[in-house]
Amino acid sequence: MAIVSGSVNYEDSTPIPKQQEYTPDNIKPIAIELSKFIRTKMYGTDVRESLARWIEIMLAVQTYINDDETAFKADIQNQQDSVGDRQTQVEGTMSDVLDQFKAVVSNVTKDSEVALARDSVRFGDYTVLDDRLEYIESWLAAHVPAGFHVSIKHNQNRQPKVVVHYYEYAIGTEAHGLGTGPYGLGETSTQTISCTVDYRDDDTAVINLPLAYALTGIVTYNNGYWYLIDGYKTLRFDLGDGIDDSKALSGNGSNETSTNANGGGYAGDLGLSSYQIAVKNGFSGNISQWLASLVGPKGDDATINFISQADYDALADKSGVYFISG
């Protein structure tokens, strides 16, 4: 084994110079000079002083770093506060405009049948009827399993029970890379989605889902589950245990998705949509023409009555549309 030996000659007997004040600009040359002193000074007092000054330099560096970080955080917070204040101003302005618009609409339809339809026994009163209808539509779209359909060619020769889960920002689906989702690494809380299942045969299941969960993409089988991924959103379909992987994978190219707006409607029990049944019964034309044919003739124009509040209160028959003047 080779032996490496050597010695250091502390030949510099001159005392170290007077200590300088540390600044961000002179720390580097002072550090280089102190390193040289530690290697070459003859007397222990100079070496110890050099080591002490080195520790002081480390403290100064850490102080500068902390000060810079504190200043940076303060700048960021000031920017956030400025943006937050501006957002509050804009939202306040928009809220005022919306309230004014709703007040106008509310007054135009006062005491009419439409105005009465704004009120809900279960959910309270709404400023305008559109708010109530929007709430009903949003609730239906999120909870009623209709409007979005996923056809899975599972090839398992059975009619499996289907459980559907929805989650966001799973690993690999974050828009800006691993761990960049709003909750850090991993997906959001998993939701179980209500669904109904139609079985075209023992190898094909059509899962009906709420329209709010309609995603765009290709349904693929992978390791026991079928997945539909659209950006950072994922639907996972669980068809139970004992899946034959080779048979499930063979159906990957046959899986489909659709909404009620596509193809003239979702196929019913006979395998035909309403539009297809109409064509079979002799209708000639495209879907738009068929939909137009379902619209009946216009009714008579309503009579609009402008009367005073006193005359309106005296009416025995208040049917019709009235605008209260005065």
Q: What residues does each domain of the chain span?
A: 16-104, 146-262
Per-residue pLDDT, 102: 74
Tokens of 91: 């939202």
30-34, 101-105, 213-217: segment of lowest average pLDDT = 101-105
Amino acid at 227: Y
CATH number of 146-262: 2.60.40.3320
- For residue 249, the model assigns a pLDDT of 94
The pLDDT > 90 percentage for the chain reads: 19
The sheet that has 220-222: what strands, in order across it?
Answer: 191-193, 163-168, 233-238, 225-230, 220-222
Place of tokens 């030949």: 11
Q: Is 252 helix (H, G, I), strand (E, B) or coil?
A: helix
- Look up tokens 């084994």; give the residue: 1
Q: Helix, strand or coil for residue 23?
A: coil
The residue to which tokens 């029990």 are assigned? 269
Model's pTM, two decimal places? 0.44
Pairing label, strands 124-125, 119-120: antiparallel
Residues 173 and 183 sit within 8 Å (Cβ to Cβ): no
On average, the pLDDT of the chain sits at 76
Lowest mean pLDDT, pick from 64-78, 116-130, 289-303: 289-303
What was the pLDDT predicted at 319? Answer: 62
**Strands in 169-320 per DSSP E:** 191-193, 196-201, 204-210, 220-222, 225-230, 233-238, 256-259, 304-308
Average the pLDDT over 150-176 and give the result: 85
pLDDT of residue 322: 58
Out of 11-25, 53-67, 256-270, 302-316, which region has the weakest mean confidence (pLDDT)?
A: 256-270
Helix (H, G, I), strand (E, B) or coil at 321: strand
